[in-house]
Structure 1
Amino acid sequence: MSTDNQPALDMLLSSASFRRCRQQAARTANDPQSLAALLDQVAAHEFGIGQLPDSGGGVDIDIACAVVDAHLADLRSGDGTGALADARCRLVVAALLYLVDRDDVIPDHLPDGHVDDVVIMRWATRVARGETTTA
């Protein structure tokens, strides 16, 4: 993400909506049922513009979902080695929770209601890839 978008990202990451999603992620990141439900919500989520496709611009929702799916598989392994979600995983979970939250900073029903979601998902993709420090 270019530095031109940094003020917008900083505003979104410090918003009450994203703080709420981070708190929810802390509670659910190690709950297999909650994680599976979240992945289902992401797969079914639509915006005022319809589904938000992955794009060459870095909104790789599949990458964020893969991080959560891998953590979910680890939790479900049942061999006692399932690690607690690390900070990066919890932030990706928070970003996915934000994505499906219809009442975030720019509510999804508005014409540009996907803009904040795109910014958060681009950031989450970079977090998942380890390209950025976590907030």
Structure 2
Amino acid sequence: MSSETQPALDKLLASAPFQRCRHEAARTANDPTALTSLLDRVAAHEFGIGQLPDTRGGIDIDIACAVVDAHIAELNAGDGTSAIADARCRLVIAALHYLVDKNDVIPDDLPEGHVDDVAVLRWATHVARGEAPAE
């Protein structure tokens, strides 16, 4: 992230909508059914500009979904004990919850409604890769 965009990102990550999504991620992180439902909602989600599969944001969505898919596979392969999603995984899950949240900072039905979602997804992708702290 550039130093110019960091204050805006920090404000976005501290926002009530993202904090709500972090709580939802903590609640659903070890529930394969809830995570699968989240991935289905992400796949069906549209913005005021349509879907984002052919943009840089689409790449971030694919990476975030792959992290959650791998986590679901780990949960399903478990021995019956509850796995605990690490902080990075929970933040990726929170970012996907934010993506489909209708009450996020910029409503998705607006033409610019994808800007905040893409910023959160890019940050989460950096977190998942270990390029940004999981805070």
| Bin for the TM-score computed over the shorter chain | over 0.9
| CA–CA distance in structure 1, aligned partners of residues 100 and 56 of structure 2 | 21
Conserved 8 A contact 2:25-2:91: yes
Task: Report whether the alignment pairs 1:129 with 2:119.
Answer: no
- Residue 5 of structure 2 is matched in structure 1 by 5
- Residue 62 of structure 2 is matched in structure 1 by 62
User: Gaps spanning 5+ residues in structure 2: where?
Assistant: none
Give the C-alpha shift of residue 4 in structure 1: 1.2
Structure 1 ranges of 4+ moved more than 6 A: none
The one-letter code of the counterpart of 2:111 is P
- Residue 91 of structure 1 is matched in structure 2 by 91
Q: TM-score, normalised by structure 2?
A: 0.93
Where in structure 2 are the equivalents of 1:1-135 lying within 5 Å? Answer: 1-53=1-53, 55-56=55-56, 59-80=59-80, 83-135=83-135
Q: Point out the more displaced range, 25-34 or 56-65.
A: 56-65
Give per-residue Cα distances to partners, 1:97-130, cap 9 Å, x unaligned: 0001121000111121111001101101101111
RMSD: 1.7
The one-letter code of the counterpart of 2:115 is V
Identity %: 73
Q: Point out the more displaced range, 91-100 or 102-111.
A: 102-111
SS of the residue corresponding to residue 4 of structure 1 reads: coil
Give per-residue Cα distances to partners, 1:28-70, cap 9 Å, x unaligned: 0001110000010111110000001253478521111111110
Change in 2 beyond 3 A, CA 1:107/1:57: closer
SS of the residue corresponding to residue 119 of structure 2 reads: helix
Conserved 8 A contact 1:9-1:119: yes
Q: TM-score, normalised by structure 1?
A: 0.93
| CA–CA distance in structure 1, aligned partners of residues 46 and 20 of structure 2 | 21
